[in-house]
Amino acid sequence: MAVDAPRQHTVADYKRDLKPVWCSGCGNYGVLNAIYRALTELDVSPHDVGIISGIGCSSRLPGYINVYGMNAVHGRALPIAQGLKLARPEITVLAVGGDGDGLSIGMGHFPHAARRNVDMTYIMMDNRIYGLTKGQLSPTTPKGDVTVTSPFRSIDTPMEPVKLAVAFDTSFVARGFAGNLKHLTEMVVAAIRHPGFSFVHVLSPCPTFRGMDEFKRIRDLIRVIEVPATELGSRDAAFTREDADPGAINLGILYKSPRPHYGEEALRLRDISRAGLDHEPTMQELLQEFMP
């Protein structure tokens, strides 16, 4: 029986001296540790990883991981992360951000990232509030909740990230919980291994603005499920599962629709464009086509 080669990296290799400044009890600590553990399990070198974020509490995360990272513009983590992956396809690329960053100002980038299917992972840390700016209503805040911008209770219907991802035909969709580190690590590992655009929705409670009992409230609602392989690629089945029990929250790999990713399609297009050429054109030869 073959023996697995020993890992070359430990969790310590991915930790930086910079300490997180999140509030005590913030769910983002769980996400950070899940990423540490996932990178360790995958045994990917720190210099072969790039993490891009937007703006917000969760978007501080790249600063706490010893990999290449960028705290980018609000809502723009996805296009920048896609650019990194296309420029350096050998790099393991993650985009991270919150529900506000991804579903408000950055919402327009989500469906296009899904349809392009660039080989990268998007982790959305959903605390259902704007934490960094002190507790305003977010796109996922439950209807009826009181916030500083909905003092008489919210009348907005909240967005549902998993349903959106499935509707966009994202090639890999999963959900995890910051309070279940083992399972969340498994979801991040599976997402990174998936060849294409993968989305992990993470329930990441904010005790400061959502209350100290938020972890317990979510823990009482979650259930880890394993979707049969025959149903994983069905959007109808995914929607049905999400709606089956309004009082429950499903954790696990919820939808998976493998298809060639953007890099593979681009290489195929390159090969088609080169068909019939007897040599690789130089830049000067290509420019001559546009010169009189």
What was the pLDDT predicted at 4? 63
| Mean pLDDT computed over every residue of the chain | 94
Question: How far apart (Å, rounded) are the C-alpha atoms in residues 62 and 235?
Answer: 33
3-state secondary structure of 111: helix
Q: Note the pLDDT tens digit of each residue in 125-177.
A: 999 999 999 989 999 999 999 999 999 999 999 999 999 999 999 999 999 99
Query: What CA–CA distances, in Å, run from 84 to 69, 80, 135?
Result: 11, 6, 32
- 267 to 88, 194, 220, 262, 274: CA distances (angstroms): 14, 19, 47, 9, 11
Write out pLDDT tens, residues 222-248. Answer: 999 999 999 999 999 999 999 999 889
* Tokens matching residue 218: 């979510």
Where are the alpha helices (H) located in 52-168, listed in sequence order? Answer: 77-87, 99-100, 109-116, 161-167
Q: Provide the pLDDT confidence category of residue 6 given band limits of 50, 70 and 90.
A: confident
Does the pLDDT value for residue 1 go beyond 70? no
Residue 123: phi, psi to the nearest 5?
-110, 115
Q: What is the pTM of this model?
A: 0.93
**Residue 2 banded pLDDT, cuts 50, 70, 90:** very low
Strands 68-71, 49-53: pairing is: parallel
Q: Domain map of the chain by residue range?
A: 11-260
Q: Give domain 11-260's CATH architecture.
A: 3-Layer(aba) Sandwich (3.40)
